[in-house]
């Protein structure tokens, strides 16, 4: 069964609202093993809506349309459907009575255009809208089925849950399921990850394997279908982690900071930071986590050389001799932060975010120091490219990556 989703509304094309309806419908239908082949958006223009419906009718078994069922002149879904199916519109009495009753109860004058919301195609199966005015409609043509739903998310979801899922499962006898799991990795590039899994990817059938690049991490999306897709995913996940498990930090929506938090909790360790170019971005991502107080004491932010001396207590001679953008300064920042914050682990960040050079160093040079308990502080240096914001973001991401691998 080939399903596609059409959203009607110029506001979607203008970017005034996001097309969350298509996302929700696709996600929910995946549980039933339904294959979504196309997503499209068309503005409030009758010829273009007609064209979209005619194209989808030729290539899909089921077309789910959201939007364009309201009372105004630019709500054109019904009119377009009539033209495509050579049908006619009738007033649906139960819906019209509901609309009239609504305005009476609320002591409001009903304008004539509200009658439009009661209009349905003559051949349609009418779906009562418990959340709003305009009903849903199902039109079964010779070659395809069209399901028309309001664009208001609450109304669309109600009709999908009350009628559409049941209709599709009964009509098309859906028995398979589709499941996905996103495996997340850090410290390995997308191209390297793909190379290590090249033979698995080339032979993929069920589940499918899709590498995806992120900002600071990469992911592998596993998608399986069948009566027991969970087992297919589990078996492939085991094969993948046997090769690249060192870089794996979790699945689906987990973030690297959440993975670090989990390890800190497991090991009963606390963390703090001393930050210069990152301006508190590292500790902010820690503190925004639920339960952060159990693993985080706080952070120190010192941007200028003077502040590094006063706030973080970096000795003046280190700054004079080595500069603030140096391995020695990063090391001392981590050592002092551990003492001042009374934490098990301290991480420090210093470098040049740009756009201009500093202390003779080009933008992108970054030093990250890590001090763990009584062990000597370690310092790592990197060169990041990109804008000022990108360099700062990549520096923080690298800090979480270093902490994750050290905690593992």
In the DSSP assignment, the letter for residue 277 is T
Stretch (H or E) spanning 275: strand 271-275
Res 216 pLDDT > 90? no
Token reading at 325: 């953008």
Sheet-wide strand order for 177-185: 208-213, 218-226, 177-185, 248-251
Res 167 pLDDT > 90? yes
Res 175 pLDDT > 80? no
The beta strand positions in 133-207, using DSSP E, are 136-140, 145-149, 177-185
Work out whether strand 136-140 and strand 145-149 pair parallel, antiparallel, or are unpaired. antiparallel
Does 167 share its domain with 134? yes
Phi then psi for residue 86, to 5 deg, are 50, 50
The parent domain of residue 47 ranges over 2-172
The predicted pLDDT at position 225 comes to 84
Average pLDDT of the segment spanning 199-227: 89
| Tokens 């600071």 belong to residue | 216
Average pLDDT of the segment spanning 300-310: 97
Average pLDDT of the segment spanning 190-194: 92
The predicted pLDDT at position 33 comes to 79
Average pLDDT of the segment spanning 23-35: 88
Beta-bridge partners for 347: 273, 370
Q: What is the CATH number of the domain that holds 20?
A: 3.40.980.10
The predicted pLDDT at position 32 comes to 83
pLDDT in tens, 110-119: 999 999 999 9
Domain finish residue from 124, 146, 172? 172
Does 285 share its domain with 350? yes
The predicted pLDDT at position 173 comes to 80
Average pLDDT of the segment spanning 162-187: 89
Does 334 share its domain with 397? yes
3-state secondary structure of 119: strand
| Tokens 């502080």 belong to residue | 377
Domain finish residue from 140, 172, 204? 172
Beta-bridge partners for 212: 219
The predicted pLDDT at position 228 comes to 86
């Amino acid at each position: 069964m080939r399903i596609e989703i059409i959203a009607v509304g110029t506001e979607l094309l203008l970017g005034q609202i996001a097309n969350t309806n298509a996302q929700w419908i696709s996600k929910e239908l995946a549980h039933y093993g339904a294959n979504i082949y196309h997503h499209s958006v068309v503005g409030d223009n009758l010829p273009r809506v007609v064209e979209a419906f005619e194209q989808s009718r030729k290539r899909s078994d089921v077309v789910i349309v959201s939007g364009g069922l309201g009372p105004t002149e630019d709500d054109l879904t019904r009119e377009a459907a009539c033209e495509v199916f050579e049908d006619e519109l009738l007033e649906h009495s139960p819906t019209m009575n509901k609309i009239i009753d609504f305005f009476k109860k609320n002591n409001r004058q009903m304008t004539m255009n509200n009658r439009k919301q009661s209009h349905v195609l003559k051949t349609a199966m009418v779906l009562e809208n418990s959340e709003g005015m305009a009903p849903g409609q199902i039109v079964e043509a010779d070659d395809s089925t069209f399901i028309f739903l309001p664009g208001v998310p609450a109304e669309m979801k109600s009709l999908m849950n009350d009628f559409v899922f049941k209709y599709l499962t009964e009509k098309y006898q859906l028995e398979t399921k589709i499941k996905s799991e996103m495996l997340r990795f850090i410290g390995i590039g997308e191209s390297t990850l793909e190379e290590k899994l090249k033979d698995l990817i080339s032979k993929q059938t069920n589940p499918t394997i899709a590498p995806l690049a992120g900002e600071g991490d990469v992911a592998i999306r596993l998608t399986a279908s069948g009566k027991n897709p969970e087992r297919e995913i589990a078996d492939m996940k085991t094969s993948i982690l046997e090769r690249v498990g060192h870089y794996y930090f979790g699945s689906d929506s987990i973030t690297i900071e959440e993975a670090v938090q989990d390890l800190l909790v497991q090991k009963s360790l606390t963390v703090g930071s001393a930050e210069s170019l990152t301006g508190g971005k590292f500790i902010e991502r820690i503190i925004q986590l639920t339960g952060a107080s159990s693993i985080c004491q706080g952070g120190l932010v010192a941007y200028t050389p003077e502040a590094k001396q006063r706030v973080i207590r970096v000795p003046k001679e280190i700054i004079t001799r080595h500069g603030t953008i140096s391995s020695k300064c990063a090391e001392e920042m981590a050592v002092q932060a551990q003492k001042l914050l009374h934490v098990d682990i301290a991480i420090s960040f210093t470098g040049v975010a740009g756009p201009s050079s500093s202390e003779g160093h080009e933008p992108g040079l970054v030093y990250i120091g890590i001090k763990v308990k009584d062990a000597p502080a370690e310092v790592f240096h990197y060169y990041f490219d990109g804008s000022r914001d990108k360099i700062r973001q990549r520096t923080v991401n690298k800090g979480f990556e270093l902490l994750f691998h050290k905690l593992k």
